[in-house]
Each structure stands twice: as C-alpha cells, then as structure tokens.
Amino acid sequence: MRNEIVPIWAAALLASLVPIAIFLIMQIRIRSFWDVNNATIGLLYSLITAAVFQVFLKWLIGGLRPHFLTVCKPNIPAITTQETGNGLRQIMYDRTICTGDESEIDDSLESFPSGHSTAAFAGFVFLSIYLNAKLKVWSNYQYVFSLFPIIAHLFPWMIMLTFVSSPSPAMWKLIATYAPILGATLIAGALTIDEFHNWYDCLAGAIIGTIMAFSSYRMVYASIWDWRTNHIPLNRATAFPGTGVGGEVDLEHAVFTRKVGWGGQGVGMGEGHVGGHHGNGVGHHSNGVGNGSSYTSRKPVAANGHHHGSETMV
C-alpha cells in the first residue's frame, strides 16, 4: 500500500491557513478588521459544515477504498468439494476472512466521499470567490489584452489597426482567482494516484466542498456574483440595505483593486454602484430609490473626507 501523498491533516491545514494568510495580505490595501473577521468566520463555516457533512456520509455509506484487498489480506479457505463463502454458489465473503490490521480495515471501508477533497474545495473555493470579489476580476470593466507594442514594432504600417488597452483587470488577477481551484484539484487528484480514493469519491467531495463554500460566503458577504456588492462584509447587527439606497454603504470600498475608481472613497464602484454618487447606477444622481440609509456603520475604511455623517460602532 502506498503512503498518502497529501495526508488529511495537511489538506485541512492548507485549506484553512492558506486562505487566512491571503485574507491578511489583502489588508495591505483593504485595511478592515471586519473584512478579515467575516472572511475568516465564513471560511470556518465552510470547512466545519463540509467536514460534518462528509463524516456522516462516510459512516452511513462508505465503500471500499482501492487498496482494500491490500489492507484486508484475505485468507480464503482452500476449495474442496464446494465454495465456503455465502450467497449464490458460496462465493461471497465478509470481513471475517481479513487478517490485516483492524483499524486499517475499518478505514478502508470508508471511502465515500473523500474528506481530503471536501476540505480542499471547501477552503479553496471560498478563497477563489473572495479573490474575485476583492480583485474585481468579473466586474464592470472589460479586459482587453493589448498587442499594440508588439504589432507596432513588427508591422509599423498596422499601427492604425491596433487597439490601445482600456482599463482592465490584469491577467495575474484571473490566474490568482483560479489558482486555489487548481490547488484543490491537485489535492483531490493525488488521492487517486496513491489509491486512497476512487475518482467518484473525489468528485463527491469536491461537490460538497464547493456547495458549502458558496453558501458560507453568502452568509458573511452581501452577494456572490453581483460585482457591486460581493465584496461588502455583512453586519451582524443591521440588515444590508441593498443597492437601492442613497448615500454610502458601510465598507463599500473594501476592495484590493484600484482600477477605474474601485477602492477610492467617494469614487466608488463605477456605474451602478451601491449607494453611489457617480455614474448611471443607483444612488443620489441616478434612477435609484431612497433618500438615505439606516445602515449602521462599523469601523470604516480610511476616508478622504468625502464620507458624511457620524460613524456608529457596532
């Protein structure tokens, strides 16, 4: 039997400590205790609920690991006039014929679903969603990769046919957003190489972890896919007012990127931001509704003097 390439304790540590480290690094620009607080709590929600879910499935369903016979070390009686097993033609055997270590045999009967895959996807999918929200990869401005310098150098006569780059997410942000998914997939794939899990065990674990990551993220942030609000940590004391209110929403600038005004106090989220003062979205100078917000503020991101009103600490 092969040794595990990634032990379960290592998978759990990677799925928890790597995201937390990224949350802290992002505070270089975000500088919000509440963002770290919500992100860490959401991550723990995801990991714990996923772990409980998969443990119950292991106990109730389980299944044979690929290395079961190696662990079992069966001792089948010599064939005489007929088979000595159970069932039709007495060819079925239970674990009483196993001569291996009892604890290893018990573990080899709990293959479905993969705990490694569940933990990896619960942690790293949560991190991927977080990175998308903070880097605004899928946001309100288009990525256009410019070949202008290369084409202008090779074909000077084609200068007028080339496009100059517009403000856009850098390619590294897209790579960073998908890097956690790659890490989780590598951990899951390693389990099929070391013969500790079948492929469908890993797939089931990945599905469970992904579902828990999405649901946990939505519990602590205003949205998942809505680029206007998916970076805003929710307040435990007061309901999030939504996008149809006037004025600034607490922590609406809690993003890492600085493209097209993101992360700038008073500049906001471009067109259609939450409680924006600019653009064609909702807010004071738009078609939005509401003349104010009763949203209770927590510790805000450092302002440039644009924010109005007093801050109430919760």
> What pLDDT does 312 receive?
34
Residue pair 116/97 in contact by the 8 Å Cβ criterion: no
Average pLDDT score over the chain = 76
Q: What pLDDT does residue 83 have?
A: 62
Residue 278 makes CB contacts below 8 A (sequence gap 6+) with: 261, 267, 268, 270, 285
Is 60 exceeded by the pLDDT of residue 178?
Answer: yes
Higher pLDDT, 193 or 245: 193
Q: How confident is the model at residue 253 (pLDDT cuts 50, 70, 90)?
A: low
Q: What's the pLDDT score for residue 175?
A: 93
What integer is the mean pLDDT of 269-297?
A: 42
Which amino acid would we find at residue 96? T
Alpha-carbon distance values, 10 to 7, 115, 253, 255 (Å): 5, 12, 35, 30
DSSP state of 51: H
Domain boundaries, the chain: 8-63+110-220, 242-314
Q: Which residue has the higher pLDDT, 229 or 295?
A: 229
Which of 33-47, 131-145, 294-308 is predicted with the least confidence, judged by mean pLDDT?
294-308
Name the DSSP letter for residue 89.
G
Query: What does the pLDDT average to over 283-292?
Result: 40
Q: What is the pLDDT of residue 286?
A: 39
pLDDT tens-digit readout, 40-60: 999 999 999 999 999 999 999
Helices (H) and strands (E) in the chain, counts: 8, 0
Q: pTM for this one?
A: 0.74
Residue 126 has pLDDT above 60, yes or no: yes
Nearest Cα to 117, choosing from 37, 57, 54? 54
